[in-house]
Structure 1
């Protein structure tokens, strides 16, 4: 339950604060005042294991001392000089070159995930051959709330339709296959349709995609999906633009989720975990794209907060720790544990229709029955709230709960968090009988 001090503060701000908060925030009604590692503390002094890692951002947990030190030092020296070179930028470029696949050798720095996706779209539009004026994307994809990002997935608001010039292909949502097929007998038909409608079309310049669809509920593609599409794109001159805003930086057990599927993108958008939740984003790409004369005009990678020294300092400190402490190996180890524990929960609770994930990114899909597979957002909300009251924070969206623990969480705390999730499931399912 929300404590008295939090309730008072929430009532005060509600007088002036515009509505439209996230579902988890509006429902959870907590005021967090401190974070350390994988633990949050609210205004009334209650603590929570944070298996949502901020907004799936805190690679190193909350307030990692080396990131705090880097930000504090930089804040005392310099905050913003537009996109002039600063002391750390060259070193960050060199660090990224060591961590990213070899073909991604050129970088632009931005402030948010949506901003870097828009920068990727500008680069594609600049270098595309005449006649290649369409862009492909996937159903259920999410690339941000700016207009270009919304147009990719035909996300209309109000009475305004903004389909733009994009063509939508089928995402690999096996649990709810839109073609009503079953893997593997389906022959990965969704991928062959993406090829037919997007990557084999002479008027398409690029396919923008999430290797693992995050906001849609951690949709993990089956073997054969990306292999088919990537090969077709290469053969037909369609650029591959990987939106790794959520997955990039190691969350799925490789620095890029694309690497898990053997995809070599031409451009990659990264943000959330790259600077431990500090606003920062990276556009990584092939030199022949980002250094192309049509893509490299004055101001093409500049904006008010792009290249800011604070973000660069936070990103450099974060990635140095990830590399030095071999945290991506830790993601794979803890991810295997998470796989096992969530499989146990699925075997115990019928309301869990599907559990899926890679590394330290998992989605739990709640249903009214396994036979009907009817989405059950009310059950997901009840489990989310029960877990919060028990001292566990997760990420709620519709009938999906996502888990994305910090890379630095220790095994015992992760086990405790999953045990609390199990208790929340018990409370909700027993109350519903």
Structure 2
């Protein structure tokens, strides 16, 4: 439960702080003061296993000593010189070249996920041939809260319609198929419709997509989905823009989720885990896309915090540890254990309608019953709060809990966290029955 020190701090800030915090923050009512590895500590001294890894950012855990040392040393030297070259940028470029698929050999650096998505959209607009004036995206996708990112998925606010020029295709949400079909007898009909309405259209310049849809609840595509869409886009000159802000950096068991799903994108956006939660983002692309005259104009990859030395130092330290310690391999090992344990939870708890994921990224969908599949956000919220009280932090969104622990998680911590989750589901279900 929230202790007296936290209640005092929350009451003081509520006098001035604007509303609109995340659902998990509002429901959780915690004030965190420290983090070390996989553990968070609140203002009253309570510890929590962090199975949300910050906001899916702390791939190396909280305050990894090598990242702290790199940031501290850089903070004593230089903070911002616009987008001038600094001492570590060349090494970071070379490290990215070693980690990414060979064809993604050109990079631009930014500060946030939404900013790098906007940068990718500018590139698409710059290189699109005449007549290709529309962009494709997927239903249920999330690409940020800036206007361009919102327009991609027709995310309206208030009375403002922001449909823009995007065309939406069906995402591979098998559990709630909008076509009322079942995989595999469906023949992956959703992919065929994306091909028809996006990939095969002569006025579409690019398809912007999450390989695994994160904010929508970890929607993992079935075999055949991306193969059909990717081949069609490539054949018809539609650029593939993979939004890997959440998945880039190894979270699904390959450095890019695209690699594991057989996608060969032209542009990739990455952020969250690339610099251990420090604001930093990368746009990676094929040189034939990012080195065209239209994309080389002065200022096209510059912004106030683009290429800032602090972000570069944090990213270089993070990715160096990731590569040296073979943490993506660790993600696959732990991901297999998590898959087995979550399958048991799914069997044990009928309120879990679907459990899905890859590597260390999982979504648990709570329903009233498995027959109707009616979403149960109240139960999900109760499970989230009970897990916090027991010492486990997860990521809540509506009727879905996401699990995305740090890659440095020990097997004993994984077991402990899933035991706490099991207990939280059991207790929350008993209270609601």
Residue 402 (structure 1) aligned with residue 405 (structure 2): no
Q: Using the alignment, how far apart are the partners of 1:122 and 1:432 within structure 2?
A: 49
SS where residue 2 of structure 2 aligns? coil
| 2:275 aligned residue | 275
| 1:384 aligned residue | 384
Q: Using the alignment, how far apart are the partners of 2:63 and 2:339 within structure 1?
A: 27
Q: Using the alignment, how far apart are the partners of 1:197 and 1:287 within structure 2?
A: 28
Q: Using the alignment, how far apart are the partners of 2:39 and 2:419 within structure 1?
A: 16
| 2:19 aligned residue | 19
SS where residue 344 of structure 2 aligns? helix
Offset from partner CA, 1:114-148 (integer Å, 9 cap, x none)? 00000000000000000000000000000000000
| 2:211 aligned residue | 211
How far off its partner does 1:190 sit? 0.1
| 2:287 aligned residue | 287
How far off its partner does 1:168 sit? 0.1
Matches within 5 A, 1:29-428: 29-428=29-428
Offset from partner CA, 1:80-107 (integer Å, 9 cap, x none)? 0000000000000000000000110000
SS where residue 295 of structure 2 aligns? coil
Offset from partner CA, 1:59-86 (integer Å, 9 cap, x none)? 0000000000000000000000000000
Q: Using the alignment, how far apart are the partners of 1:291 and 1:407 within structure 2?
A: 34
TM superposition outliers: structure 1 runs of 4+ over 6 Å: none
Offset from partner CA, 1:222-281 (integer Å, 9 cap, x none)? 000000000000100000000000000000000000001111000000000000110000
SS where residue 294 of structure 1 aligns? helix
- The two structures, once aligned, show a CA RMSD in angstroms of 0.4
Q: Using the alignment, how far apart are the partners of 2:426 and 2:378 within structure 1?
A: 15
Q: Using the alignment, how far apart are the partners of 1:77 and 1:270 within structure 2?
A: 26
How far off its partner does 1:432 sit? 2.2
SS where residue 420 of structure 1 aligns? helix
Q: Using the alignment, how far apart are the partners of 2:311 and 2:117 within structure 1?
A: 17
Note the residue ranges of structure 1 that are not aligned, 5 or more in a row: none
How far off its partner does 1:360 sit? 0.2
Q: Using the alignment, how far apart are the partners of 2:35 and 2:411 within structure 1?
A: 19
Q: Using the alignment, how far apart are the partners of 1:263 and 1:349 within structure 2?
A: 35
After TM superposition, the score normalised by the length of structure 1 is: 1.00
Q: Using the alignment, how far apart are the partners of 1:281 and 1:363 within structure 2?
A: 24
Offset from partner CA, 1:261-302 (integer Å, 9 cap, x none)? 111000000000000110000000000111100011100000
Note the residue ranges of structure 2 that are not aligned, 5 or more in a row: none
